[in-house]
Amino acid sequence: MLAVSRHELGLADGLDVWLKLEQLQHSGTFKARGASHFLARNDVSSAGVVAASGGNHGAAVAWAARERGLAANIFVPTISSPAKVDRLRSYGATVHQVGAVYGEALEASQEFQAETGATSIHAYNHPDVMAGAGTASLEFIDQVGELDSILLACGGGGLSGGAACAVGDRTRIVVCEGETTNAYAAALAAGEPVDVEVSGVTADALGATQVGELAWRALSTADAPSALVADDAVLAARQLLWDNWRIIVEPAVATTIAALQTGAYSPAPDERVGVVICGANTKLSDL
């Protein structure tokens, strides 16, 4: 947990902003919460587990499976960063790189599941996975007190949807996306989840082509606003986290800081703001 001044973020005066450092979580992201919760609540096939992922959910599943002595087959698209693929293999997972985007890797994982009977763990559209992700926001408030708003990066919506379920009745959930990884913003515009094309620096982590149905229900019920940011703002925010606090994150994570810096989300001076820094499966050389 880290409190940073708005001045350090280049913002107008106001209360400090709290950063929850989930990049220090097991497997390098918040997703260890959802994977662990799923495995604690569900029986697993003798064929082990299978998951599709941009890389982070797969790493979490691989780590959680290893802790329980289970085999893990992880499907990732070809755009997944080498750092994420390396981490998957370090946990003993069998890695399948299939398709250009997450959706194509998901289809391949579903075919594998049908052939082998392995237990499938969806990256975000499962109640146990989303509930596990929601514990990050519950813990956040337990640690720093009530927050008026929490900013979270969003791909398929597991983290933000889990937050909406957990604390959305008392805290504004701000959904942060790249302009070209905008599944939630597109759903808001259409009034329902719709397919989007994904590209840009946030695509390897926020590359879901459609926001999850469960997340959509939770976020729309919570009336969660959308904050869209351009790639250059994401990269600048990522560099700021490193320069000021030596926090290393993957580009997608920096959508939250970029949303504050660009005014895509503008908190009131007296607003207690929390930001979930949700993952760091990247390479220093990328900075």
Answer positive or negative: Cα dihedral of 256, 257, 260, 263: negative
pLDDT at 136 over 80: yes
Q: What total of structural domains would you count in the chain? A: 2
Domain check: are 15 and 150 in the same one? yes
Summarize pLDDT for 239-255 with one digit per residue, the tens: 999 999 999 999 999 99
User: Range of 58's domain?
Assistant: 32-120
Q: What is the mean pLDDT of the segment spanning 206-216?
A: 92
pLDDT of res. 109: 95
Same domain, 23 and 44: no
Of the candidates 120, 138, 153, which is a domain's last residue? Answer: 120
The answer to whether residues 81 and 136 belong to one domain is no
83 with 131, same domain: the answer is no
Are residues 40 and 53 part of one domain?
yes
Please tell me the total number of residues recorded for the chain in this structure: 287
Out of 120, 145, 161, pick the residue that ends a domain.
Answer: 120
Chain centre distance of CA 24: 14
Answer yes or no: is pLDDT of 282 > 90. no
Given 67, 101, 120, which residue is the final one in a domain? 120
Backbone angles phi, psi at 73, to 5 degrees: -110, 120
Split at pLDDT 50, 70, 90, the class of 260 is very high
Residue whose tokens read 């351009």? 230
Co-location of 16 and 102 in the same domain: no
- Whether residues 85 and 179 fall in one domain: no
pLDDT, one tens digit per residue, over 49-83 is 999 988 889 999 999 999 999 999 999 988 888 88
Question: Please, is 243 exposed, middle or buried when counting C-beta atoms within 10 Å of its C-beta (0-12, 13-18, 19+)?
Answer: exposed
| Same domain, residue pair 24 and 36 | no
Average pLDDT along the chain: 94
**pLDDT for 54:** 81
Residues 100, 162, single domain; the answer is: no
Same domain, 140 and 114: no
CATH number assigned to the domain comprising residue 226: 3.40.50.1100
108 and 148 both lie in a single domain: no
Same domain, 93 and 212: no
**Residue 215: pLDDT band with limits 50, 70, 90:** very high
